[in-house]
Structure 1
């Protein structure tokens, strides 16, 4: 869900840019507790999250289809969404206190899908703004994302990937205790996706909540939060969810026609946990050791164009969660 102008919390706008000042003394990372969080939009979407807890220092990845509520959840936790119910806390303070307190907000690092800065700033101006707000700026973060080379570039003219790197510096360079990121690898090439992965892996003293769409991002997570139609569908370590939702193996079969695919679907019933058809003549089957037997049996059959067999992966899990289909 994207943030619409008429749903922004105008009353909290002054808190979004804390007054300049030195960072607070080093604090332990805060845990996050959501007892009940409800957001209802004018478009008819409803977010309803209950009894959700993140341990201090934990990394949690939010996954789900477009419109499932990933961004809405992040924005509601940040106080950028008007909530119907907001019960819970971050560390020892309430959700409302984190939304309003400049001192607490300086402990946060945030990357949203859209960043609004005054027109005409150069990258060096953005970096100066960051340093004034947070009081510190880790040079190692700037260098890992190759941002110093862009100091004299106009921020408005940056490419999508370049802007994402600058925005990541704004989110991470002050070494925050609580990090909320909306699709941090979007727009990055492999070099800088790897660099961002390394940076986040090294921030073990922070609590991290990130919306993600890639297996690379998901590999950072201690637990995965699957959002489906505004509610939590599953919350567990990614490897556990692969095993529980998909099984150990994936068998991906291309056939010469849709009729052959339907016959294979009927034949596979009882041997699989889940079947997905990306196209009428393709089947992705997930399950246990019976799939290996089926894979060997299919090789050489005239209706089969190709067979791919292997371990079920994070990529498979993300694809299934995006589809919302968990039944054979």
Structure 2
């Protein structure tokens, strides 16, 4: 499979030549998880400077891939390396360059939040208090980890993963259990890390369009295999074109919309969910959709530039 780099990663490689680091390397990975499921990844890498979203339906193999990166699973003949070291066998110096938030990880339930934070301050040369403040962890300082809500635990784990300004961030559904306020806080922090350090790299499993929009590459898994891998905008344009539109109304109105669009000579791939017809296409769709919606009894009409939300919607609804 062709290896594809983001613009940021290409810039890093141009600046550092062949010494530009492959922060994640997976080759010849075949892991038969069960009789019904095998994860197969012939080749995949994350170069320094890449921010990669790992997406796909439930059961696609995202968590299994993460388990291999953490050394929790292994496969004969596979090569899985993180920061140049065998996965699960990184020396302390390299582990300190990584920030991890993993759904399956946690802390002793009796530990106070302030004590967990102090662990971070002792473990790393850098421990940025503004990251903990951004996730509003101060009021929770005297709370025990076991008493926290799922959202509060997530905020603490994200702060612990991000506060030492790691070179590589590996995240497992970071916005899971976060309310909209802290989802936006996380997205802002991630974007700031990517913009302030050209060598910063991130691999993030996510179902959140706002997170995907920050990433410059996408790895889409489907039934244990790589369905797509490449620059985010390239994949979105290839799958959907630059324009999306939707028409919400009764069946007769939706049928008339399709007739008007096809009479205009457009080749369309409509999808209907409930009372909403969604169509994607090229620039010609923009004017055609406006004409098709005119004078029809529609409850709602929307027109947009395609983006991460379209990609995730296609995963959720096929």
**Scaled by the length of structure 1, what TM-score is found?**
0.79
Cα distance in 2 for partners of 1:87, 1:242 equals: 30
More deviation, 166-175/35-44? 35-44
1:64 aligns with 2:59: no
1:122 aligns with 2:116: no
CA 1:125–1:197: 2 relative to 1, 3 Å: same
Shift of 1:109: 1.0
More deviation, 196-205/161-170? 196-205
CA 1:289–1:70: 2 relative to 1, 3 Å: same
- Assess if the C-alpha contact under 8 Å between 1:66 and 1:322 holds in 2: no
Instruction: Find the counterpart in structure 2 of residue 7 from structure 1.
Output: none
Instruction: Find the counterpart in structure 1 of residue 181 from structure 2.
Output: 191
Deviations 1:204-261 (A, max 9, x none): 342110011112101221111111111111112222222111011112112313x764
CA 1:309–1:117: 2 relative to 1, 3 Å: same
Instruction: Find the counterpart in structure 1 of residue 240 from structure 2.
Output: 246
Cα distance in 2 for partners of 1:154, 1:212 equals: 28
Cα distance in 2 for partners of 1:120, 1:232 equals: 41
**Scaled by the length of structure 2, what TM-score is found?**
0.82
Cα distance in 2 for partners of 1:228, 1:267 equals: 35
Cα distance in 1 for partners of 2:118, 2:65 equals: 30
- Assess if the C-alpha contact under 8 Å between 1:272 and 1:288 holds in 2: no
| 5+ long unaligned stretches in structure 2 | 1-19
Q: What is the alpha-carbon root mean square deviation over aligned residues?
A: 2.5
- Assess if the C-alpha contact under 8 Å between 2:69 and 2:80 holds in 1: no
Shift of 1:122: 1.2
Cα distance in 1 for partners of 2:305, 2:127 equals: 42
Shift of 1:112: 1.0
SS at match of 2:183: helix
- Assess if the C-alpha contact under 8 Å between 2:27 and 2:44 holds in 1: yes
1:282 aligns with 2:272: no
